[in-house]
Structure 1
């Protein structure tokens, strides 16, 4: 077959250029794949985030029963609580939604009356045009897509919760053996922070919803249950969520009277102070300790990158990054 040629010179310009071109091509292909599958990867990330939050409860149950059964109990219990809450609130929500639809002409009149506060707000911010731009068909499609995504997240979260110990072990095995014990300590601390933040954030949001319902009911603001549920959901998003919830509820309260609207605005400002300086430090702050400035910057960056989901996960991610920096980078600098 002839004599073999000379070995390939790995230092030749041709070989170096081909290797660089192949590296660029692989990088571009990987980036394209990530962008194409970004929606799916986002759902996977949300499911894993929820699994980390459910891990402490699942681990306690797993001491008394098989891990898969414990994961199923946790997920089914969570879905049962959520379903029971929705079922209990379905009739009042439907009634109040009907009242909101029937009262739409009156609100439209108020928006067009430039002598009212809502009319002046409409003239300044174009509220009527924004409302008219919303199509019911688009809303229905968005709700259907959201429901489908929720089902996918629940299914993925169930698998993640059931296999979390093996996933955790597989992640830690990627670290060098000599540094694996320290990686495990830092990783477990990060998981604890994420779990504590998720549980604490849900608790604070439930308190916000209950307080809002009590206030609106006491002052005769229409649709108190609908608005309370909206406040509880939006309050899950740090900073921006509570601001948006307070602004929307205040606009509805203004339809009762200006004093009630101003009082409602004052209630949300006061509650925000109580939440930031009393509830969050006591419920969440013990586990997730980050400066207020870092919280605001993290939420803004998270929202800019991933929207509402990014804002929701921004605080625990920032806490995890600060922990890693403190335990790795700062610790190394202190030894030099």
Structure 2
């Protein structure tokens, strides 16, 4: 066998397209011989060839057509997998938010896996412990509220109130009873739909927790991969800006959770002192709603104040005043103290970001809007504005 034939046989992989027939290979055999000649120990796959002529009309046309096709395919992919992408994005957002705690442990000689496990187990333990302590009173209070709701409604529609006048004029109560009696199937479907929604929420929560664990474990590798996409000459600057963005998101998430816990605890104590019913249920609602920037605390204050009116008018007014004072304390003392200068977003940008995020992605969008807005503002200040000033 000539040397070229021997080289061609060596270049042909032992596990691909065997048996190797030299005579049928034709011009491929010559290419295989050259491939074997260009291979070395340092470069087992050979040296890269010359780059393509990017200015070739054919290449430009192909790239343009491919760009249109890829853009269309990506658009359809995003629209078709929107819900899944939201879960993935939320998990990554939570992972970045928990990263400061993991990094704090890792700096104290915790292995990365042990630090991630410690943070996640602590989070799960707190959540499970809260459920164990709160589930029984929550169920009891929710049941009591459901049982007493008709009494509350009857009280509101009596004693010459304006709601009673509306009920007399338009027959609201009779219409509601007729609606309930003639739409049993609709009610059953609504109950089944609510059960399906609860199941979906639980499933999505488990998926987000699993993805968050994976993202936390591989976050250093993800970070390295992201920076590898940046050209080497710009990589140091990208690392400084990118790490600052990660730190701002993480600081915001942890700070927001801490502030919401304080709001829920203070509300619970206030409601217990003044004997407002469903104290734990309402405190939990305040804690969850307080996570939503700008509007969440206001909604919680209105709901709790209305429930406090069932005790007495003075208690309802005092509860409303309490929320006004607490929100001033939270906005001007607690939030700056907890978050410091982690998130530097003007008030008008905060409101606009929350409105846009809530419109696009609901509650999740409203929660993640402010740290994302902080990241965008950082890019504008450090990258775009200096270039425009030099232009």
1:214 shift after superposition = 1.4
Which range is displaced more, 111-120 or 238-247? Answer: 111-120
**Contact conserved, 1:47 with 1:156, CA < 8 A, in 2?**
yes
Residues in 1 aligned to 2:312 and 2:279: alpha-carbon distance in whole angstroms: 16
The answer to whether the aligner puts 1:276 opposite 2:321 as a matched pair is no
Which range is displaced more, 180-189 or 84-93? Answer: 84-93
The residue aligned with 1:107 is 152
**Contact conserved, 1:50 with 1:157, CA < 8 A, in 2?**
yes
Deviations 1:290-320 (A, max 9, x none): 1111111111111111111110011101111
The residue aligned with 1:38 is 82
Structure 1: stretches of 5+ with no match in the other structure: 1-8
Give the TM-score of the pair, scaled to structure 1. 0.87
In the TM superposition, 1:145-224 aligns within 5 A as: 145-224=200-279
Deviations 1:233-269 (A, max 9, x none): 1100101211111121122112222222222222222
In the TM superposition, 1:13-162 aligns within 5 A as: 16=61, 20=64, 22-63=66-107, 64-113=109-158, 115-116=160-161, 135-162=190-217
Query: CA, structure 1 residues 61+285, in 2 after alignment: closer, same or farther (shift >3 Å)?
Result: closer
Instruction: Pick one of 361, 366, 377 that aligns with 1:306.
Output: 361
Give the match's secondary structure for 1:211: helix
In the TM superposition, 1:248-327 aligns within 5 A as: 248-327=303-382
Which range is displaced more, 221-230 or 114-123? Answer: 114-123
Structure 2: stretches of 5+ with no match in the other structure: 1-54, 181-185
Give the match's secondary structure for 1:177: coil
Residues in 1 aligned to 2:333 and 2:105: alpha-carbon distance in whole angstroms: 31
Residues in 2 aligned to 1:85 and 1:236: alpha-carbon distance in whole angstroms: 17
Give the match's secondary structure for 1:178: coil
The residue aligned with 1:5 is none
Q: Which is bigger in relative contact order (C-alpha 8 A, separation at least 6)?
A: 1
Instruction: Pick one of 281, 291, 312 that aligns with 1:236.
Output: 291
The residue aligned with 1:3 is none
1:332 shift after superposition = 2.6
The residue aligned with 2:4 is none
Across the aligned residues of Structure 1 and Structure 2, the Cα RMSD in angstroms comes to 2.8
1:139 shift after superposition = 2.5
Query: CA, structure 1 residues 117+172, in 2 after alignment: closer, same or farther (shift >3 Å)?
Result: farther
Give the match's secondary structure for 1:163: helix
